[in-house]
Structure 1
C-alpha cells in the first residue's frame, strides 16, 4: 500500500471511552467518512433524548452520523457500503457487528478493547480487572471476527493498576491509550507492517456486564476485596451498604491491615481521616460516602453532623 495513502474510515462508538480515539482520527490525515453510534437515549431528570458523547463530537466537526437500531438488516448494511470504507474502527459501540458488516470495509473492522486480550473479553473489562486484583491491564487493537472479542491481536499498550485506581481513572487512561495505539495501528496498516497474532483461547477470561446487586458490600469479606469493589464500582453502580434502614453509597475507601474482633459491618473507629468498619479480615476505612438525598461527603463532613461509632452496617436482604 502507498505509505502516503489516507484511509477512508467509518468510526463506530458511543460512550466517553470512544471519544479520544475519534478525536485522534479527526486530527489525523485520514478521512472520517461517517460515525455510527447508538440511538439517542433518555437521560437526566427530564428524561430527554440525549445524544451520545461520540455523536456530539461528530456533529461538532460536520461528520455524517448514523444511528441504526441494528446492523443485520440488508438496508443497514447497504447504507454502510455506500460510505465505501477502507476500514471500520470500533470502540465501545454497543451493537454486535454481523459477518456481513465485518466483510464490508476493504481492510475489515478494527476494535479498541480495554484489556490485554485474551484476558477479559466482554462487556466490563476495566471493572473486572480491578475486582480480580490484577496489577496490570491495557488496551488491545484487534482485527474483529465473529465471536466475542476473539479476533487476532494487532497492537497492545499496557498500564499498571495502582492501589487507588478506580474504574473511572483507569477508564480515562485506557481511552487515551486506545487513541494512541489506533493511530499507530493505522500507520502500520498503511505501511504494511501489521502482524496479526492469534489469541490463545485457553487463556481467555470473561468480563460479564455489571449489575447493581453486585455492588452491595458483604462485610464478612476481607477488607482488601471490599476496597477493590468500591474502586471497581466507581462511578457505576457505586458500592453501597445498609445503615439504619437506609442505603448509603460508598464512593471511596481504603483497606487497613488491623486485627478485628468486632462483628463485620460494625463501625469501630471514626475520625477526620475516615470511618473504620470491621470486615471479615481487617478494617475498611470509608473516606467518602453519600447518604440518601445528599451529596458525597468526606468522613470529616459526615462527622460534623453525626456519629456512626458502634453502628452496624448490614448486607441488604
Structure 2
C-alpha cells in the first residue's frame, strides 16, 4: 500500500519512522520549507525532512498545496492514502480527494475537544484529566472529520506539555500504523462522526499569555506553568528582567498576590490570588535553567519583594 506522508516537527517524524518500519511504501514525503533557526539564523530542515533523508525517501517542500504543480505531484504518486501529522499547511478539498482512501490526520486530542493548533497545551492548561490521539478522516473543516480510532492518555499530576507531547507522539505513531494495517487488510476504515456537543478550540499559543498573572489562583498558574513548558515558557518579571518559571507546586499560603513569602534552597514561595506557588525550577534572564537550590546559593529574593 502506497502512503504519502505530510508532517513537519518531531511529533510527525516519529509517525513517519513507524510507518516506514512497518513496511509501507512511502513514495513521497511532504514537509514545510527549511526555516532559519539558532543564533546564526541558518536554514534548518524540519525533523520530518531529516527523518525522510535518513530513510532514503523522496522529499518535497511546497509553500502551498493550492497550486496545480503541487497537486499534480501528488496525483503522480497514485497513493492509496495520505497521512498528515502537524504538517502546517492547509489541505484544499482538491488535495483531500487525490489519494484513493483520502487523508488521515493524527490529531493530539480526544475530538471534538481541542480542535485546532495547540491541543496538548490547552488540555494541560485546562486541567483535563485525560487527552489522547484521534486518527481522523480529514474533511474541509478545522479538525471536523469523522474519527477512525481513539486512543486515551491519562494526564499525570505533574505532566508538562512536553511530557504529554512525548507520550502522544509514541501513541500516535502506534495508532496510525495499526489503522494503516487495518486499511490494507480490510480495504476500508470504519469511522464515526464527531459528537456535536463538547466542541472546544485550542487556539494557537501567544507569548503574551505566558506572563504569569499572580492574581490568578495558584492552581491556575501552576497549570499554565506546565502547559507552557517547554514553549513559550511561563515567566514573571523580577527587577525589570524576565524570570522564567519551569516547575512549581501549589502550597497553602495566603497573602498579597505576587509577594515573595519565602526564598530558600527548597523553594521560592510566591502568593497568588488564592493560595501560593512553591517554585522549584526557574531561569533568570541570561542564565540557564536551574534548580531553586542552585539559584538560592548565588542570589536570594528577599521576603516581601513583589514579582
TM-score (norm. length: structure 1): 0.95
1:1-80 to structure 2, matched below 5 A, reads 7-80=1-74
CA distance in 2 between counterparts of 1:128 and 1:81 reads 36
Structure 1 residue 245 corresponds to structure 2 residue 243: no
2:214·2:272 contact (CA, 8 Å) conserved in 1? yes
- Residues 15 and 54 in structure 1, CA contact (< 8 A), matched pair in contact too: yes
Offset of residue 310 of structure 1: 1.8
Does the aligned pair in 2 maintain the 1:243–1:312 contact within 8 Å?
A: no
Q: CA deviation at 1:270?
A: 2.2
Cα distance in 1 between the residues matched to 2:27 and 2:290: 46
Give the gaps of 5 or more residues in structure 2. none
Tell me the SS of whatever aligns to 1:202.
coil
CA contact (8 A) 2:216 2:274 kept: yes
Partner residue in 2 for 1:282: 275
Match of 1:218 among 209, 213, 216: 213
The answer to whether 1:108 aligns with 2:102 is yes
1:3 paired residue number: none
Across the two proteins, how many residue pairs are aligned to each other?
306
Q: 1:301 aligns with which of 291, 294, 305?
A: 294
Q: Give the secondary-structure state (helix, strand or coil) at the position aligned to 2:269.
A: strand
Q: Is the 8 A contact 1:72 1:98 kept in 2?
A: yes
Q: Which residue of 1 aligns with 2:120?
A: 126
CA RMSD of aligned residues (A): 1.0
Q: Give the deviation of 1:72 after TM superposition.
A: 0.3
CA distance in 2, matches of 1:33, 1:311: 63
For 1:304, what is the secondary structure of its paired residue? helix
> 2-side partners of 1:313 and 1:55: how far apart?
46
Whole-angstrom distance in 2 between the partners of 1:92 and 1:201? 24
Task: Please list the CA deviations of residues 185-211 of structure 1 after superposition, one character each: whole Å capped at 9, or x if unmatched.
Answer: 112212326321001133211000000
1:83 partnered with 2:80: no
> Deviations for 1:137-184, whole angstroms, at most 9, x for unmatched residues?
000001000010000000111111111100101000000000111011
CA distance in 1, matches of 2:35, 2:196: 35
In the TM superposition, 1:81-230 aligns within 5 A as: 81-192=75-186, 194-230=189-225
Q: Is residue 242–residue 313 contact of structure 1 (8 Å, CA) maintained in 2?
A: no
Q: Any conservation in 2 of the 1:137–1:158 contact (CA below 8 Å)?
A: yes
Whole-angstrom CA distance in 2 between matches of 1:64 and 1:54 = 11
Q: CA separation in 2, counterparts of 1:270 and 1:293?
A: 21
Deviating runs (4+, > 3 A) in structure 1? 311-314
Matching residue within 267, 273, 281 for 2:266: 273
* CA positional deviation for 1:311: 4.5
Tell me the TM-score normalized by structure 2. 0.98
2:22 and 2:237 map into 1 onto residues whose CA distance is 50
C-alpha deviation, 1:252, in angstroms: 1.1
Deviates further, 291-300 or 183-192? 183-192
Structure 2 distance, partners of 1:32, 1:208, is 32
Q: What are the Cα deviations for residues 283-302 of structure 1, in whole angstroms up to 9, with x where unaligned?
A: 10111111111101111011
Distance in 1 of aligned mates of 2:190 and 2:3: 20
